[in-house]
Amino acid sequence: MSATDFSATPATPATPRRDVAWMGRFNASLRYGVLLLVGLIMLYPLLWMVAASFKPNHEIFGSIGLWPQEPTLDGVISGWRTGTEYSFATYLFNTFAFIIPKVVLTVISSVLVAYGFARFNMPGKRIWFAAMIGTILLPKSVLLIPQYLMFRELGWLDTYLPLYVPCAFATEGFFVFMIVQFLRGFPPDMEEAAVIDGCNSLQVLWHVVVPVIMPAVISVALFQFMWSMNDFLYPLIYLSSVEKYPVALALKMAIDVTEATAWNQVLAMSTIALVPSLVVFFLAQRYFVDGITSGSVKG
Amino acid sequence: MYENKTTGYLYIAPFLLGLATFTLFPFLSSFLLSFSDYQLQDPVAQANFTGLTNYREMAADATFHNSLWVTFLYVFVTVPLKLAFALFIAFVLNFKLRGIGFFRTAYYVPSILGGSVAIAVLWRYVFAGDGLINQVSIWLGGEPLNWLGEPGYALFTIVLLRLWQFGSAMVVFLAGLQNIPTDLYEAATIDGASKWRIFFTITLPLLTPVIFFNFIMQIVQAFQEFNGPYIITGGGPLKSTYLLPLMIYEEAFKYFNVGYASALSWALFVIIAIFTVIAFTSAKYWVFYGSERGDKK
C-alpha cells in the first residue's frame, strides 16, 4: 500500500516551474509546523504528569516547566502506597486477575464465531450477522441494570465473574467483526486443500486459519487488554470490597481520600496506572493501527 | 466455503447463547422494568406494574430535561469537531514527510490512554485553579479561569478530553486516504484541476465510507460518555455536565430507582437508535462505495 501524497505531486501546470520547488519547501515546513505544534499540545499534559510525579507539591503549582528543580521520589513512593490500606501492587494484581481471563476468552470465542460467520453458509446467517452489528451499536446502559440483577441472582456480586464470563460468548461484536473482515480478505483455497487432505473443520481452523489470521487475533487481544485496563463502570457496579479493586477504582478512591493536597502523589499514581498500557502499546503498536483500520477500510 | 449447516451453527453457538443471555434478555427486561417501580435496595420487594408513570415522570423531570440538553450539546459539539480535526491532521500527515511514524504514534497514544481513570484524574489537575492550563494562560499574559467551577466551562473540559483522543479516528482516515488510487490524482492533475477541486471531487467522495464509519462509531460512543463527567466534574457544577449515562447510573445505583433508571436508559437507547437509523438511511445519498468509481468521468 503506497502512500498517496497528491500534494507532493508536481503542482498544477499553471504554476511556473521555478516556484514549484519553493512551494514544495514552504508546504513541507507548514506541515511540519502544524504537526509539531499539535504534537506538543497533545503530549504536554502527559509529560507534565510524569514530571509532576518527581516534583515536590509546591513546585507543581509554581511552574509550567517540566524538569523538576528539586527532584524527589516522595510522590512516587506515597503514590505506590496509595494512601489506602493496600499498595499499588494489590490493585495491579487484581486488575490482571480479571483482564487475563477476559482477553483469553474474548480471543477464543471471537475466533470461533468469526470462523463460523466467514466460512459457513447456514440459513439465517445474515440475520445473526446483522444482530451482531446491532450489538456494537447498542448502548451499554440499556443492558446494565438487568445484567446487574441477573448477576445478583447468581450470587456473583463482588466477584470478577460478571467482568469476564460474558466474554466467553463473543459479546463484543466489534472483535468478531474485525476478524471476519480480516478473514474475508483471504480466499479459502488453502482451507479447501486441507479439507481434501482429510482435515475436519476444527483442524482446518487450528492448522490453516489461525496462523493466517494471527495479526487480527493479536489486535483483538491488545484492544481488549487496553479497553479493559480503562474500564471503570463495570468494576464500579460489581465490586464492593476494596481488597478486590482494580487500578481504575483504586485511583478514584485515592483521589477522594487525598484530594487537593498531595498532587504529586495522585499524579504519580496516575502515571504508574498508565505504565502497563504504554508498555504494551509500544511493544506492539503496528497491531493497533492495523486492527483499528481493518474494520473500517477493507469493509 | 462449507455448506454444512450444523457445523456452522456450532461455531456461532457461543455468540447465539451470549446474544440471548447477555443482550436480548437484559434488553427486554429493562423495557419491562421501565414500566415498574422496582427498587434496587430491597430484593424481596415485588416490582409493581405502574404503567407509564416513569415516562410521565420523565416528561416532567427538569433534571432529565437538563441532562438531555447537555448530552445533545456534548455530542453535537464533540463529534463534528473531533472528526473535522482528525480529518485535517490525517490530511496533513498524508504526505511524504520524514518522521511520519513518530507523529502518528504521538497522536495515537492519547486515544489509547484517554478513556482511563488516570487521564480523567490528570484532567482534573490540568484544569484545576492552579492547574496547568491556568498556569500557561497566566504565563501567556491571560486570565486564569475557573474551568471546573463554572457551569459554562465545565462541559468544555470534557469535550476537550475527547477531542484530545482524535487519534483513532485519524488513523482510520489516514488508511482511507492511502487507499485512494494515485492514478485518480494524476489524471486530475493532468486535466488541470486545482487542489481544492481535487479535494472536493476526488478525496472527499472516496473518503465518505470512512467518514460514515467514524461518524457512527463516534456518535454511539459520545452518547455513552460516563467516565469524564463521573470523575472530572461529578456531573456538576449545577448539573451542567450531568450527561444521561451518569444520570442513569446515579438513579439506579445511588438512589436505587431501578424502574425510573430503566425508563431513562430506554430513552437513551431510542435517541441513539434514531440517529443510527437516520445515518444509515441517509448513507445512500452521500456515501460512495468503490464500485461507483468506474462511472466517474
In a domain, B127, yes or no: yes
**Is B11 within a domain?**
no
Q: Which of A58, A82, A120 to mutate to test the interface with B (most CBs of B within 10 A)?
A: A120
Mean pLDDT of the A83-107 span: 91
A140 and A48 in a single domain? The answer is no
Residues of B in contact with A194 (CB under 8 A): none
Q: What is the grid cell recorded at A49?
A: 504528569
User: What pLDDT shows up at residue A83?
Assistant: 74
Rounded Cα distance between A52 and A267, Å, is: 7
CA distance A48 to A46: 5
If phi over 0 gives left and psi between -120 and 50 gives alpha, with beta otherwise, what is residue B238?
left
Overall domain count for chain B = 1
Within a domain: residue A90?
Answer: yes
Q: Model's pTM, two decimal places?
A: 0.89
The answer to whether residue B46 sits within a structural domain is no
Whether A130 is covered by a domain: the verdict is yes
Count: domains in chain A:
2
Mean pLDDT is lowest, of A151-155, A165-169, B1-5, B77-81, for B1-5
Q: Are B11 and A113 in contact (CB < 8 Å)?
A: yes
Compute the average pLDDT of residues B2-15: 83
Distance from CA of A221 to the nearest CA of B (A): 14
Residue A10 has pLDDT above 60, yes or no: no
What does the block give as the cell for B53? Answer: 408513570
Q: Of A137, A48, A259, which Cα lies nearest the Cα of B126? A: A48
CATH code for the domain of B228: 1.10.3720.10
Task: Tell me what pLDDT residue A7 has.
Answer: 41
| Mean pLDDT, all residues of chain B | 88
* Partner-chain residue, chosen from B30, B117, B121, that has the shortest CB–CB distance to A142: B30
Chain segment B260-280, per-residue pLDDT in tens: 999 999 999 999 999 999 999
The answer as to whether A70 is a domain residue is: no
Domain that holds residue A13: 6-52
Let me know how long chain A is. Answer: 299
CB contact under 8 A, A201 and B2: yes
In the numeric block, the cell 467482568 is attached to A163
Please answer whether residues B41 and B256 qualify as being in contact, where contact means their C-beta atoms are separated by less than 8 angstroms.
yes
Cβ proximity of A151 and A238 under 8 Å: yes
- Shortest Cα–Cα distance, A29 to chain B (Å): 10
CA A49 to chain centre: 21
Q: Per-residue pLDDT averaged across A66-85, rounded? A: 80
Percent of chain B residues past pLDDT 90, beyond the cut: 49
Residue B257: strand, helix, or coil? strand
The verdict on residue A1 lying in a domain is no
User: Residue A26: exposed, middle, or buried by beta-carbon count in 10 A (0-12, 13-18, 19+)?
Assistant: exposed
> Predicted confidence band at A2 (pLDDT cuts at 50, 70, 90)?
very low
- Residues of chain A contacting B115 with CB distance shorter than 8 Å: 227, 230
Query: For residues B87 and B215, what is the distance between their CA atoms, to the nearest angstrom?
Result: 12
Q: 10 Å Cβ neighbour count for B254?
A: 10
pLDDT in tens, B63-104: 999 999 999 999 999 999 999 999 999 988 887 777 777 888
CA B95: distance to chain centroid? 28
Asked if A123 and A31 sit in the same domain, the reply is: no
pLDDT in tens, B31-52: 999 999 888 876 666 778 888 9
Cβ-defined contact of B22 to A166 (cutoff 8 Å): yes
Among A2, A5, A6, which would you mutate to test the B interface (most chain B Cβ atoms within 10 Å of its Cβ)?
A6
What cell was used for A143? 443492558
| Nine cell digits for residue A280 | 504494551
Q: Mean pLDDT across chain A, nearest whole number?
A: 84
Tens of pLDDT, residues A213-269:
888 898 899 989 999 999 999 999 999 999 999 999 998 888 887 665 678 888 898
Question: Looking at A77-81, A92-96, A125-129, B73-77, which range is the least confident one?
Answer: A77-81
Q: What is the percent of chain A where pLDDT is above 90?
A: 36
Whole-number pLDDT of residue A3: 39
Question: Cell 436508559, residue?
Answer: B265
State the pLDDT confidence band at A114, using cuts at 50, 70 and 90: very high
| B165 falls within a domain | yes
Predicted pLDDT of residue A260: 59
Inter-chain CB pairs, A–B, below 8 Å:
314
Kindly state the DSSP code that residue B296 receives in the 8-state scheme.
-
Give the CA distances from residue B30 to residues A135, A295, B56, B64, B265, in Å, rounded to whole numbers and listed in that order: 15, 30, 17, 18, 8
Average pLDDT (A81-94) is 86
Cell numbers found for residue B279: 445515518
Give per-residue pLDDT as tens, A165-223.
Answer: 999 999 989 999 989 988 888 888 888 888 888 888 888 889 888 988 888 898 899 98
End-to-end CA gap in chain A: 16
